[in-house]
Every structure is written in structure tokens, then in C-alpha cells.
Amino acid sequence: MLSRVANNIYWMNRYIERAENYSRFIDVNLNLTLDLREETVEQWEPLVMATGDEQRFKAQFSGATREHVLYFLTADPKNPNSILSCLLAARENARSVREIISSEMWEHVNRFYRMVKDAAVKTFDTPRQRGFFGEVKQASHLFVGITDATMSHGQGWHFGRLGRLLERADKTSRILDVKYFFLLPSVQAVGSSLDDIQWAALLKSTSALEMYRKRYGRIAPYQVAEFLVLNPEFPRAIHYCLIKSEESLHAILGSEVGRFENVAEKRLGRLVADVTYVSIEEIMSEGLHEFLDNFQTKLNYVGDGIAETFFTLRLDEGPRSLEMLQ
């Protein structure tokens, strides 16, 4: 497989996962505003801060109002990370590898983009907004199902899963960070009904509420953090995403688990070990925000390692295939 093809498949999946997770970011805040008495700027600004696009947002808008934030994260063509921009980028990556992916995958990505594009030009009220973000999540889930059912589970499929799960781990950490560090209005609110509402909304935004209650029952901040960070079985938990990402990376290279022969394997293996052996008590002692911020930095470092190992073309090189890297 050419590195160009692997790069396209990897980023197609990352962009689709990013679009889904942005819809989750927004949906959790819409759920919160239904339960809170009044809407304030602070309830919307953290969403922009969590995405890392605060500087770009401030250059375009004077304030973090509901309308500004929704447009910026959903349909702003100037924001390369808006849902619309992500789906456009995913479609272009899919177009470049149509001979590699299945026709069903290409058709779904194309329909997915057109659905978002059509919705982006309309003005809709809150019920319509919530329906739209639910449709984005469902379309993303359908893409994963179509991919698993219609694409051979070889190198290309593993590159897609690797990109999707690394993106999901990053966004799960950011959703959790928004709640814990930004959205709680005061120390006095800890343990209040407002606190419970926010944690429940957080679990819903990661489709984790039912699985969490089956394991823990009552909602408690430490246990929510433990479930979303350290659970090795829940598909949106950070630990699970890292475990499966490492499996795909070793499958791509044909290397044994436990052996680290390149920068991508070393960095991802180190991060998997960090999360595997840390306890929730250690995380909370360090500070959940500090832990998540450090995790996001390390995850970006892993992404750089994957690009360096598979995708980066040096000036003295011609077109590369993955076989040349093994």
C-alpha cells in the first residue's frame, strides 16, 4: 500500500470521527441549557476552548454566544475543524482512494457530506438543532459499520481504525475536560443537582450513561472519570481506544505486541503503558485537568510519530509503500 493511500484512509476516518465528536460537544451543551435557568457566555465559550480553536474564533467573532459558537463549530467554512469542513475533507480523502475503499463507503461519505451541507444553509430552532446533531452521530456510526462490513480487514482497514480511535481518545479527553475544568460554576456546586445534571449530560454525550450505570449505579465524579479514562472495554473510553490503536499499528507493521521498532510504536506503546498502569487516585491527586492536558500533548506526539513513520516524504525519496518501511 502506498503511503499516500494510507494517509488518505487514516485522515478520512479521523475527520469523520472529529465531525461526530464535535456534534457530541455541542449536543451535551444543548442538553445542559435545557436544564439550566439561563444561558451565559461561559457555557458556550468552553466548547471553543476545548477544540483548540479559540484564537481563530476570536479573530472572527466578538463574543461566544450560542449563535456564534454553533455556526463556528458546525458550518463555518473558515474553520477547518467545523463539522462541515471535516466532512468536506473526509469526502476529498475518500475520493482520492475510491479504488481502495468499497463503493458503499464512498457513497455513504458523499451522502453524509451533502446532508450536512444542506442542513448548514438552513436556520433551525433548538429541536431541529438537536435532531441534526443526532443525525451526524448516526451517520458516523453507519460509516463505521459499512467500513467493517464491506472493506477487507487488511492494512487499509487498520489505518482507518487507527485514525478513528486516536481521534476518539483525544475528543473523549476534551469532552471530559470541558465538564471538569470549565463548566462547573463554583466549588460550592460540587455534589449539587446542577453537578449531577452536568455529569449525566457528559455521560450521554459519550453514549456512556447506560453502561456507566450498569457498572457503578449512582453518578459520582471520580467514577465517571475512571470509566471514561481507564475502562478497557467501553468503546469510547481512552484506555480502550489506545489498546485497539496499538493492535492496529502492530497489524499494519506485522510486528509482535511488546516490540517497538519505530518511533510510532515506541510513542504509542509508552502512552498505552502510562494509561494502563495509572490509577484514578493518582490521576485525581495530580489533577484531572492536568492529566488530560498532558495526555493530549502525548497523543499529539503519537500522531507526529505516525506521520513520520508512514506519511512524511523526504526530499531524497520517491513514492513510498508500507512494505519499504517494514
Q: Which residue has the higher pLDDT, 249 or 289?
A: 249
Per-residue confidence (pLDDT) for residue 209, from 0 to 100: 92
Q: Which residue has the higher pLDDT, 63 or 15?
A: 15
As a whole number of Å, the CA-based R_g of the chain is 20
User: Hey, where are the domains in the chain?
Assistant: 3-325
- Percent above pLDDT 70 for the chain: 84
CB 151 within 8 A of CB 1: no
Cβ-proximal residues to 18 (8 Å cutoff; 6+ apart), any chain: 81, 86, 167, 171
Tens digits of per-residue pLDDT, 25-74?
888 777 776 656 554 445 788 788 878 888 999 999 988 888 889 899 99
Per-residue confidence (pLDDT) for residue 326, from 0 to 100: 44
In 3D space, the residue among 120, 133, 124 whose CA is nearest the CA of residue 25 turns out to be 133
Per-residue confidence (pLDDT) for residue 36, from 0 to 100: 60
Tens digits of per-residue pLDDT, 96-107?
999 999 999 999
Per-residue confidence (pLDDT) for residue 184, from 0 to 100: 55
Per-residue confidence (pLDDT) for residue 40, from 0 to 100: 42
Tens digits of per-residue pLDDT, 191-222?
556 667 778 888 888 899 999 999 999 988 88
Number of H helices, E strands in the chain: 16, 0
Question: What is the rounded average pLDDT for all residues in the chain?
Answer: 86
Q: Which residue has the higher pLDDT, 126 or 6?
A: 6
Q: Which residue has the higher pLDDT, 270 or 321?
A: 270
∠219-245-291 over CA atoms, to 5°?
A: 45
Tens digits of per-residue pLDDT, 271-323?
999 999 999 999 999 889 899 999 999 999 999 999 999 998 543 444 455 55
Alpha-carbon distance of 39 to 232, in angstroms, equals 36
